[in-house]
Structure 1
Amino acid sequence: MTRVSIPLLPADGPVVRVTGGDVRGLRAAEPDGIDSWRGIPYAAPPVGELRFRAPAPVVAWSGIRDATSFGLMASQQGPVRVARSTSVAPSSGEDCLTINVHAPAERGSKPLPVMVFIHGGGYTAGSSRDFSGQGEEFVRTGRVVFVSFNYRLGALGYLDFTRYASRQHPFQSNLGLRDQVAALRWVRDNIAAFDGDPNQVTVFGESAGGNAVTTLMAVPAARGLFARAIAQSPPPHSVYARKATGQWAGEFVGMLRQIVSRRQGAGSSVTRDVPALLAGASTVDLLAAAEILRVRTPITYPGAFPFAPVVDGDFLPESPLVAFREGRAHRIPLIVGTNDREGSIFRGRVDILPRTPARIRALFARAPETSHAPMRAAYPGIPGRRSGADFGADYGFWYPSTRVTDFHSRYAATFAYRFDFAPRLLKLVGLHATHGVEMFALFGRADEPIARAMTSLGGYEQYVAAGERMRGFWLNFAERSEPGPEWPCYSEATRSTLIIDAVDRVVDDPRAVRRRAWNDFLPELAG
């Protein structure tokens, strides 16, 4: 086994032994009371021959490894649009499979529950170094150990190139999803060194991270790696069959060939060996082709997004919604919820929902004709801007989440919520409680510039308080599998849902008219 020599570090932080060797973390200055270990490898770098391959075991090192800095973010497009530049985001790269652990500096006599956060970003952006990836406000309570990690994104993690696999290039599917399972295995095997309890792991995530949670619930290899789950604003049915993912992979290869040809200039010849093209392409060229595919796909295939898990019949044997319906999803306690107006922020560069007139017409054309009138009644003015945004968001987030809660409640404890609080400014600009708005409050980052701007016209105290209550629910759930006595368990008989607002309340079967309209409009999801 190759061994990497890491220079010894001064004794300025706690040292623990993990898979691969010893790591020294960072002890935060008081009164934070947090020990942090960052950038620990949980798998081998997925580069060279390991590109488009399942995560391989960690490469061991000698000495004590510096674990005071975050690892590279997964390769992703930078802030400059691809039409003008194909630059890679700062501090990103393919060698990205690292994990971070944050624990209370004061240790108790018993191991603590563990909360593992999966970042969002549409499976094309984001990282564990985002504000939500550190979880200080969770750790400062002294009640949990907090874990975050990076996983492969975009074409490198979420396009299915198995149709092009060869003996020399044995590509595999669901790479980002496999990374997530590898990270959870690392937690199982190593978290006791950080005073965490490997039998009390709660996995949670938002947006794409929420999709990761609902998908992991249907992955056989993930069984037993977590005891509870929380899915915030998940798009649970953004998991696709091989026919669709194969089509997108083919389109991507065509785009990549054109990009490489243009870069090489006139008279150059690009290899027709697709496996060699994919294996040898630069990260910049892969990102450029992925950005084109990301923009085009929601237009060409309304309601679809190309970077998502694939039902490959192996690692992910069936659609997660089918697994939930049939009781084959992991039968563990689950919280699922969405925000009041998820779709209002999906404009411009992130316009991926079926919210435009053309995309809405395409979905109506695929739905039973008898469902059209009830759907129009549920969304008055459709395809107007507001009704279109709500329709698109309900298609992507809310309605499939109701299916998950209905199905899972038949087999295990399930809790449903809706986050409704919106500061005054967000209401004035028409965003309201949009996608992701709860994150700054939940993670105690209401003083971030964006959050301060959101609350500049009022609502700061109520926003902070809503986040504190939500964080309390999450901590209770991580400790004892239920969020609190004021939040009833969900059942199909009542569909009791906690509405998180300036004042929380419980509502039975909120938006029942919409739910029934969608049952007829998407009978394949109704179950």
Structure 2
Amino acid sequence: MPRLRICALALSLLLPAPIAAAADADPVVAAPAGSVRGVVEHDIRIFRGIPYAQAPVGERRWRPPAALADWDGVRDASKFGAACMQPKPRAGNIYAGDLPAMSEDCLSLNVWAPENAKNAPVFVWIHGGSLMAGSGAEPLYDGSALARRGIVVVTINYRLGMFGYFAHPALSAEAPDHVSGNYGLLDQIAALQWVKRNIGAFGGNAANVTVAGESAGALSVMYLMTAPAARGLFAKAVAQSAYMVSAPALRDRVNGMVPAEEQGSDLAAKLGATDLAALRALPAETIADKVPTTGYFPFPAIDGKTVPRQLVDSFDRGEQAPVPILAGFNSGEIRSLRFLLPKPPADAAAYEAAVRAGYGEFADMFLARYPAKTIDESMLAATRDAMYGWTAERLVSDQAAAGKGAYFYLFDHGYPATQEWNLHAFHASELPYVFGTASRTPPLWPKIPDTLAERKLSEAMGDYWASFAATGKPQAKGWPDWPDYADDRGFLHFADTPRAGHNLFPGTAALHEAVVCRRRAAGDIAWNWNVGIIAPPLPPKAEGCQ
């Protein structure tokens, strides 16, 4: 039977929440999944809290997202959906802001579209937060400014923490494909499938989708680039401050990492749950608040299905999505992430001795870039380059080698508050410039001054990102052409203004690639987290490695 289409007056009398009528001026979109009524704010149509899948909750926890039945009538899309379950933010966290109410039933997305959008490029944003926190509803990710550039912006929620990245032998045993974990990644794939089916109704072009994210969102972008189930769901990728670190295998002990199922069993024991029924009976709030105290760190697991192998191996084999990419990192990444640094050594001699013990024949190269005379700055830079810099350059290098557009950047911009707090170009500080949300940053974020120079930088970055989403080539009128990485390792340097350059930090990516190569060949050492003075002894030279 065809879906009933009845007028707004009848809806106001007949339909319960969350389906409701609103003012005649509010936009209604009849999508294949069902009709939604949004709002118009400053010439942008906004649809909030649209469910894209059914999250398995309670006694059905830790299963892939379930298909959501199409609905009849008009669903209210004026308010954001619930944020996914997560712990309360730490006091003093500059990234923490107000979130909507939390729930396990949180798989929703939000759409910002120009009023007369037709066949417009689509920009799907995946939020960061270490796979533990965040929401697509954060004011920082408001899509209005980007949408005014003629693109449709989508932000999504996906399951976090133990809810999204929990593997366990009993979960694998009950699953049809005999794997577990990666539920948050499966949520992201379900959201992209919803976009492919429905975004045309909002004026978007389902064949011109860019998947984008920052930090854990950029990590997710890389996994989507290598996930077989995500192939064909997007045409371009943006990875801001991604980190291609080693991941645990589901059952095998490789790269010095405890198998994901073993981690899950250990976590269940710490929560006092003896079986799946007990785990699923735990209140969601208990899980969200208690799990972070156990030392458990959520991460995708190599399951041979959704995650076929280590990211770096997939890219080496050319198995990643053959799409243009825009990727980069910030000069001050670790200034706001000092928990990633070990305790500094007592003096320069101790620093140099630790580096020589860990880097062997590469120690002189390492010390030339990260000298002992400036220990703090050297430790900040070394961890930045080993995690974020190496990853970004590897991404653009691999896509350029595959004959795809590859655009590399360094965000190196500061302003008075960041200089005062020693946070110059800190992790995620490029976000308000890309989204044009300088006035909507979290409460403790270093306040961005409302000056012409700051607005111009934001306008330029928004233009570059939006044009990349539209055409696969980032351009901004009145600003330098962004050279392709294939053109002598071209990049764009965002300082006070954008400047084009070539060969960023010569030899640095090659140094970290050489170290990672040997660790991969050894097979029993993780990479990228163990940097500088805590690096394990460099493995011997292996075939294919320096």
Q: TM-score, normalised by structure 1?
A: 0.84
Distance 1:227 1:131, change over 3 A: same
CA displacement at 1:158 relative to structure 2: 1.7
Aligned equivalents of 1:248 and 1:175: distance in 2? 13
**1:369-409: per-residue Cα shift (whole Å, max 9, x none)?**
22233212221128933222222222221112222222221
Amino acid paired to 2:417 = L
Q: Which residue of structure 1 lines up, in the alignment, with residue 233 of structure 2?
A: 225
Q: Which residue of structure 2 lines up, in the alignment, with residue 214 of structure 1?
A: 222
CA displacement at 1:252 relative to structure 2: 5.2
Distance 1:241 1:372, change over 3 A: farther
Quick check: 2:123–2:152 contact (8 Å CA) kept in 1? yes
Q: Which residue of structure 2 lines up, in the alignment, with residue 33 of structure 1?
A: 43
The counterpart of 1:22, out of the listed 14, 29, 35, is 35
**1:236-258: per-residue Cα shift (whole Å, max 9, x none)?**
23543334675465455445544
Quick check: 2:80–2:100 contact (8 Å CA) kept in 1? no
Aligned equivalents of 2:443 and 2:81: distance in 1? 26
Aligned equivalents of 1:502 and 1:445: distance in 2? 18
Q: Which residue of structure 1 lines up, in the alignment, with residue 418 of structure 2?
A: 426
The unaligned stretches of length 5 or more in structure 2 are: 5-14, 92-97, 346-350, 521-543
Matched, 1:53 2:63: yes
Aligned equivalents of 1:61 and 1:362: distance in 2? 65
Quick check: 2:88–2:289 contact (8 Å CA) kept in 1? no
State how 1:95-494 maps to structure 2 within 5 Å: 95-105=105-115, 107=116, 110-141=118-149, 143-162=150-169, 164-167=171-174, 172-237=180-245, 239-242=247-250, 243=252, 247=259, 250-251=262-263, 253-260=265-272, 272-273=274-275, 275-293=276-294, 296=295, 306-347=297-338, 351=339, 353-357=340-344, 369-381=360-372, 384-411=375-402, 412-448=404-440, 454=446, 460-484=451-475, 486-491=481-486, 494=488
Distance 1:25 1:425, change over 3 A: closer
Q: TM-score, normalised by structure 2?
A: 0.81
The unaligned stretches of length 5 or more in structure 1 are: 82-87, 261-270, 298-305
**3-state SS of the aligned residue for 1:172?**
coil
Shifted more, 130-139 versus 382-391: the winner is 382-391
Corresponding residue pairs, total: 486
Aligned equivalents of 1:235 and 1:249: distance in 2? 23
Task: Report percent identity of matched pairs.
Answer: 31
| RMSD (CA atoms) | 3.1
Higher relative contact order (CA 8 A, sep 6+): 2
Quick check: 1:356–1:388 contact (8 Å CA) kept in 2? no
Quick check: 1:188–1:225 contact (8 Å CA) kept in 2? yes
Distance 1:428 1:310, change over 3 A: same
Aligned equivalents of 1:15 and 1:228: distance in 2? 29
CA displacement at 1:80 relative to structure 2: 5.6
Aligned equivalents of 1:97 and 1:396: distance in 2? 30
CA displacement at 1:5 relative to structure 2: 5.8
**1:411-438: per-residue Cα shift (whole Å, max 9, x none)?**
1111101111111332233211111111
Q: Which residue of structure 2 lines up, in the alignment, with residue 266 of structure 1?
A: none
Distance 1:334 1:168, change over 3 A: closer
Distance 1:478 1:11, change over 3 A: same
Distance 1:361 1:75, change over 3 A: farther
Quick check: 1:5–1:61 contact (8 Å CA) kept in 2? no
